[in-house]
A and B are shown apart, each in its own frame.
Chain A
Amino acid sequence: MLITPEDVQKIILAYKRYSTYQFDDYSEKSFTRRVEKILIDYKLDIPSYINRLRSDKEFLEQSMKDITVNTTELFRDPKIWHTLKFRVLPRYSEQDSINIWHAGCSTGQEVYSLMILLNEMDLLEKANIYASDINEDVLEVARSGEYKYRFNLDYLENYNQVIKKNPYNFDEFKDVPFEKYFDVDKSKDRMKAKSFLRQKPLFRKQNLVAQNNVFYTKFDLILCRNVLIYFNYELQNKTIDFFHSLLFNKGSLVLGVHESMLGPIASKYIKKGIYYIKK
């Protein structure tokens, strides 16, 4: 460890003073590591870091982006996607519309994965897709729907598992080519989501800690995966309560595979295996 907990407190205080970003309730270890990385990458010490935060707005914004973690993959954890396909989405399939929010969507792979699944279930048309992140840069990538092909190559197998196969019936096989949803240019190592997918979601910047609903609507389904692990216990509970207030009755919440509700907030939801329903 290069820096002390006192140093970390000084940095948190500086962000609070010079911006609206509040890192008080972030998980200590990962936050500390991100700050250390900034110190190394920008060749700063604690006083000069604080000084830059005070005097350099651009640095402040960039460093916030460096602190927040962005990990997402197409169809990450097929088990979750099977649950969405066979357990969660059918609950809302008879409704006239389905409101879905990806909270902390990063570069958007999960957003596109869900739209593909919805399309295969003939639900895309009636779905309203909302997605938010604290980082404008990753939202820009998400809006473009353009990714490295090779980077995602591993996840073609996940696509096959979720879209082509049925874990409850091994004889079932639906041959849906990947190219139905993405234009792939292998020579440039790029792939781009088809425009009917790209034009569908509404992407907006949002700081989950500030708890403002930037979409002015309620939701049938909220996905927030591997975001809460960066929050401490108190902030996790507050955020799950915030989600509760934004879900329609019987709405569903999907967290990351290794995230769960540990506090009193759990009593406001019914746990259904790996997803939660608002009581």
Chain B
Amino acid sequence: MNDKIIVIGGSAGSFQIITKILSELPKKFPYPIFLCLHRLKHVRTGFIEALTIKSNLNVIEPEDKVHIKSGNIYLAPANYHMYLELGNIISLSTEPAVNHSRPAIDLTFSSAAFNYKTKVVGIILSGANRDGANGIADVHKEGGITIAQSLEECQVRTMPEAAINATEIDYVYTSDEIISYLLKL
């Protein structure tokens, strides 16, 4: 399987950053990327299209139990939690919201950390709540790389700040630095 798994969590103020990152990644990007983004519950359509327009890579809202493929970008579907399971499989769930969120970043990050240990690169972007802090702490505990968006650049700093307070963050990066880090992987 892949050498790296990239998980990205974002909420308020992260949409532009995400589209910027996706637009800079090449068509042959060798690793799978998992996006767990909070969005308004009633905004169920149009979101993935907006992400796809600028991306060179395939952006998919995965169906339950599909096999993970490198170079795909998996977006947690609205109103479902997204887990990474043993055997390189994605599973979805409609369990209650965690941190008022479904999808919850914590669940995607923790399950990635549990299965992929040091292969995980976890990135927390701008957002207005604390979701993702426990998840990125798990990524660190399992030996993965942890990155938070720089607080100066963030539209809303609560989420990366919570991540920074929850664990040892390897890099606090601006979006440009995040992109060049990913390109060097």
Contact = CB atoms under 8 A, between A and B. Distances in A.
B83 to A, nearest CB: 4
Interface stretch (A81-89, A134-142, A229-237, A243-251): A229-237
Contact of B93 (A1, A27, A154): A27
Contacts of A22: none
Interface in A232-274: 232-233, 236, 256-260, 262
A71 interface: yes
B6 interface: no
Size category, A interface: 20 to 34
Contact of A258 (B63, B110, B138): B63
Interface residues of B, number: 27
A154 B66 CA distance: 31
Given A29-B91, A71-B94, A229-B94, A260 B83 contact: no
A236 B63 CA distance: 13
B94 A29 contact: no
Contacts of B110: 1
B91 A30 contact: yes
A228 interface: yes
Interface in A87-101: none
Contacts of A226: 94
Interface string B87-120: 0010111111000000000010011001000000
Given A1-B114, A29-B85, A260 B64 contact: yes
Contact of B91 (A27, A69, A260): A27
Contacts of B91: 27-30, 229
Contact of A233 (B62, B65, B95): B65
Given A1-B110, A1-B138, A258-B80, A30 B64 contact: no
Most buried by B among A1, A29, A157, A236: A29
Contacts of A27: 65, 83, 85, 91, 93
B64 A29 contact: no
A229 B114 contact: no
A232 B90 CA distance: 11
A33 interface: yes
Contacts of B61: 258
**Which 4 pairs across A and B sit closest by C-beta, in order of nearness?**
A29-B83, A71-B94, A30-B93, A229-B64
Given A27-B85, A258-B62, A258-B92, 7 more contacts: A30-B83, A30-B91, A229-B92, A233-B65, A236-B65, A258-B80, A262-B63
14 contacts: A27-B83, A27-B93, A29-B93, A29-B111, A33-B95, A34-B95, A69-B93, A71-B94, A71-B95, A228-B64, A229-B91, A229-B92, A229-B94, A260-B64
